Structure 1
Amino acid sequence: MRIITFVTQKGGAGKTTLAINCAIAAELKKHRVLILDLDPQASSEGWYQDREADSPKLVKIDSWSLPDAIAKANSAGFDLVIIDTPGRDEPSTTAAIRCADFCIIPCRPTPVDLRAVPPTVATINRLSKSAVFVLTQTPPRGERLREAEAGLSMLGIVSPVRIVTRAAYQDALGAGLGVMEYEPEGKAATEIRQLWNWIEKKMEKIAYDSEKTHIA
């Protein structure tokens, strides 16, 4: 079982939207997925209440119950746990990073969002976790986007797949769906599909490198 924590200490970066859509992308590839919602705003839980499908499963928890929830997920045979964290620095965020095999840091290409990144990266590095950046709510192209990618690349790996600002993301969430369900052939669905394929390859490489190092 793998654990992915979606984390950013800046609200409004599209963290919950990304977490939900990645969970559905994993489900569509036949993984059993559990979403753990640690965010007091409970946006993931609200989406789950509107959802008609039985999966992916979602549980709203507090940080103190995180280890127990992960142990139960492992015993229940889940392949993947996705943790949606608060959009600010607090103990539950650190706890979720500590439990993770892999962290995803959503970031909008704005000066305010970029300035909020270093504390998140510092916590991830302190806990020796692997992480990547995903640019969210972006324009299709432009100088600001290139500058944001250049700035983030100085701190870590940046996904080549960007999440462009599209109405489909919010429309899907409002319907209790992911974009791959709401508009399977749409541009948003293509972005999520490409992003999830890239994330899976990154996780596999990290696991392979870790195993190779351990054997050596």
Structure 2
Amino acid sequence: MNAQTEFRAIAGPVGALEVAVDRPAQARADGGVAVIAHPHPLFGGTLHNKVVQTLARAFVQQGWVSVRFHFRGVGGSAGVHDHGVGEVDDMLAVVAAVGGAGPLALAGFSFGGYVAAAAAVRLWEQRPAQALALVAPAASRFVLPPLPAELQARTLVVHGEVDDTVPLAAVLDWARPQSLPVTVLPGGEHFFHGRLPLLKSLVVRHLRAL
């Protein structure tokens, strides 16, 4: 993301996972860490994706240490794609390795949004996330879990009105039974072209409100 980004490897479920760490100029006193998941590996998704970088910048601006990572089989990460099953384990391994002991935030874009939601639910009993940011979560391609009621209040869901990769209707169908608000960007498509500054401001506003 910038010249100060620290790349390193951690132990994952099936071998090394490549992570990229960005630290704020002035970190939160409580040592908050945000772990961010990238879009689908089989469609070119990496930790360098512009939406993922935008999420990282928003968290860093608010004093969080930002950790992006490559799913198994991507970049410097070992293994092969596991259709969303092993990828949740990958995210949990990153949280365990570099999530620190302070507040935890999880975030993800598209396929990564599904993984972040699933990881947040898996972690809820032992390490509840203070914030969850889901951008265009892949509700039409994967079964997103319902979120615990307390987590819903800490969750931001952002979707583009004319997303033709993940239809808005699929996200609304997931959110509706939970009465979970969805922030819709009018005219926005899946990759938020021309809307990344607005996306960043929405995430920053959400974090400030927590």
TM category (shorter chain) comes to 0.3 to 0.5
Higher RCO (CA 8 Å, separation ≥ 6 residues): 1
- TM score, norm. by length of structure 1: 0.45
Larger fraction in strand? 2
Larger Rg: 1
- TM score, norm. by length of structure 2: 0.46
